[in-house]
Structure 1
């Protein structure tokens, strides 16, 4: 059986050189090279969605790749597509680089200038390893399938705007609709998800911070399975330990979760450090929760500008969620959209704290009644974000429930350019 090899090379001349040499290897079947990290991940995701067997056995990553650096790209491929073996081609043949490549998930390193013998040896060894992993997959082992889930981060314009409640209800809605869902507390110093869901669990996100290879078993050991079916990855009980979760660790953790769950909801809190920033940058949807008051909206504007300055996320890629909304409020969603320059969710969350007080005080937020207008609005928001599986016939009925005169939420039409 021929070995399928996918080169990932940013430089056109280097791509031709690598592809020519790969085509000379015995039983090798090089495919058209990809020119950047995004194209590589998208190609692998498309193939993985069909079947693990459609993935190439070997990916050759040249050091001249971008925009994601080669080592970071290798880490993402290794976490999301573990049945694929990665070989790094680099001009740095030092022991330090070799060790770093192994830590990031590479199965082999080949030095530049390329040698036929060295390349053939590495590719053949990695191909054999890949075949063994796929044989294990066929036997029903607990291994990643490589199909990436949807990651949603929930951050606050300031403290007390309802970030944790929003994150929990979005995750509950996704889980209840039949999607495997993880809820992560990256509010590392003051996270309250455990208190809101009446959970006592010794492990936390910190237990994954120092692990360079987060296998399914390691991840399962760190996650708490809640009665609702949610997989919880909690903040540490001792807030000072949150400093151990670096931005690099957060990237590894989010990538591992994305590979295991259809939906990953991350509570980033109101004060975002390196770990939270990495999660926001990686997210498919980044939500910023605000209340319709001057202080909170100013906070939202500051957060959006900071994310843009630090190149974490552009304003137009951020969605503001308006919590505690009333029609009598002077600051309405269209004004917030204009001030922040972001998208604003069509579903606003009503100001009905009395519905929440008893379940919040009891630590049983997951038992909030279905008739609660706050719950209806938040689950409607989950539908708006595409986090829930909604039967086709029920979609229109659900959409109508959260419109216009319903006190559970407020919808409005936003102007869209083009």
Structure 2
């Protein structure tokens, strides 16, 4: 295909990418640096993974509406054609590859993309926020993953970034309790949405907290969380990161299809452990399970040590050797008494600035790039490649 593309007039083929995650990351990076350099056309093989081809096309259509996605497939049935068009594809290319067909489909998608960009002017309107998604998982229950997620979100919001905090710990989620929230709508209400999740639907399902955070909470009836499938998760997370600069997702300590999809989509995956044998073993199990299921590689995970004490035998270097991930430079001290009052009151956002736990978690937010000065958007650049 690359050889054929290189023979087409006025086409500058980019190097192929190996999977759906790399493709979305590439488009996000290019959009953040210079919108005019976004590819006009992307060709998506029917066997791409881990996100299925049609779901990937839908995500590209939502986040990058002026990029034409074309499906490459051996299936010529009318049913697939209809599904591809419903997902937002600008055409299909069938196997075996044919120069004339490839040229016609790519040129048609490129002309469509160019027309959309002319209509939108500079293109600033179509890029979306392309926010950073951060998942926070616990090595086991009770290691402090929810406190970490809440404080990371508060730090991001305080630094001027529009931030959403999502509770995907369906059975034991405590974000609503930590932030003193009474709510009716939950993430389960979005799971039943057919088609795209519009900004209005998303706004109706989220709770606007006095801190400025947008909260998407776990359902009160934990069993309703079963309605949130991996496909629904991808739609929900895609809708959130197109609207918010930072999306922090508490995925708990149990693996299911929904939170696995969130971890897979995340730009940053944080794993929280405490410096004890049981928690470290739990962290090791979690990382290995993510790897076996192709959710996330160990080198793409950042482990954070909570309740750190220099006097304990298990220190971060030992944890790193055991778990096999990168380790955060920031450790969170063992100072539970600082949390007791705000936890009992359900007002985690009132944790004092002098708290060593808050200082550490906000420093972690800075380490992750969620807090501190926002990067200025760059302008200009080369002509968009197809």
TM-score (norm 2): 0.84
- Contact preservation (8 Å) 2:5, 2:11: no
Partner of 1:414: none
Distance in 2 (alpha carbons) for counterparts of 1:356 and 1:316: 32
Relative to structure 1, the CA distance from residue 15 to residue 62 in structure 2 (aligned partners, 3 Å threshold; closer, same or farther) is farther
Q: Say whether 1:157 aligns with 2:139.
A: yes
Q: Which structure has the higher relative contact order (CA within 8 Å, separation 6+)?
A: 2
Partner of 1:16: 3
Size of the aligned set, in residue pairs, is 371
Distance in 1 (alpha carbons) for counterparts of 2:169 and 2:213: 18
Distance in 2 (alpha carbons) for counterparts of 1:391 and 1:280: 24
Distance in 2 (alpha carbons) for counterparts of 1:216 and 1:133: 22
Distance in 1 (alpha carbons) for counterparts of 2:127 and 2:85: 21
Relative to structure 1, the CA distance from residue 373 to residue 224 in structure 2 (aligned partners, 3 Å threshold; closer, same or farther) is same
Q: Say whether 1:195 aligns with 2:195.
A: no
Relative to structure 1, the CA distance from residue 63 to residue 33 in structure 2 (aligned partners, 3 Å threshold; closer, same or farther) is farther
Farther off after superposition, 251-260 or 358-367? 251-260
- Aligned ranges 1:84-95 → 2 under 5 Å: 84-95=67-78
3-state secondary structure, aligned to 1:166: helix
3-state secondary structure, aligned to 1:260: coil
Relative to structure 1, the CA distance from residue 92 to residue 166 in structure 2 (aligned partners, 3 Å threshold; closer, same or farther) is same
Distance in 2 (alpha carbons) for counterparts of 1:251 and 1:281: 9
Give CA deviations for 1:69-112 in whole Å, capped at 9, x if unaligned: 53343233223312223222333121331233234332333545
Specify every segment of 5 or more residues in structure 2 that has no aligned partner in the other structure, as ranges: 376-386
- Contact preservation (8 Å) 2:131, 2:242: yes
Q: Say whether 1:325 aligns with 2:312.
A: no
- Contact preservation (8 Å) 2:92, 2:105: no
1:135 to 119, 141, 162: 119
- Aligned ranges 1:28-177 → 2 under 5 Å: 29-36=10-17, 40-41=23-24, 43-63=26-46, 69-112=52-95, 120=104, 124=108, 127-128=111-112, 131-132=115-116, 135=119, 144-146=126-128, 148-177=130-159
- Contact preservation (8 Å) 1:19, 1:33: no
TM-score (norm 1): 0.78
Give CA deviations for 1:350-383 in whole Å, capped at 9, x if unaligned: 2222221221122211111111111111111111
Q: Displacement, 1:195?
A: 1.5
- Aligned ranges 1:231-250 → 2 under 5 Å: 231-250=214-233
Q: Displacement, 1:342?
A: 2.3
Distance in 1 (alpha carbons) for counterparts of 2:264 and 2:373: 28
3-state secondary structure, aligned to 1:82: coil
Partner of 1:386: 369
Give CA deviations for 1:217-270 in whole Å, capped at 9, x if unaligned: 333333222211112221122211111111222223223323332222110101
Give CA deviations for 1:105-138 in whole Å, capped at 9, x if unaligned: 3233354565958974895478447734763576
Relative to structure 1, the CA distance from residue 58 to residue 287 in structure 2 (aligned partners, 3 Å threshold; closer, same or farther) is closer
1:208 to 184, 187, 190: 190
Specify every segment of 5 or more residues in structure 1 that has no aligned partner in the other structure, as ranges: 1-13, 24-28, 393-418
Relative to structure 1, the CA distance from residue 69 to residue 240 in structure 2 (aligned partners, 3 Å threshold; closer, same or farther) is closer
Q: Say whether 1:253 aligns with 2:240.
A: no
Bigger Rg, structure 1 or 2: 1
Q: Say whether 1:275 aligns with 2:262.
A: no
Relative to structure 1, the CA distance from residue 46 to residue 30 in structure 2 (aligned partners, 3 Å threshold; closer, same or farther) is farther
Distance in 2 (alpha carbons) for counterparts of 1:15 and 1:343: 35
Give CA deviations for 1:150-178 in whole Å, capped at 9, x if unaligned: 22211111111111111000111111112
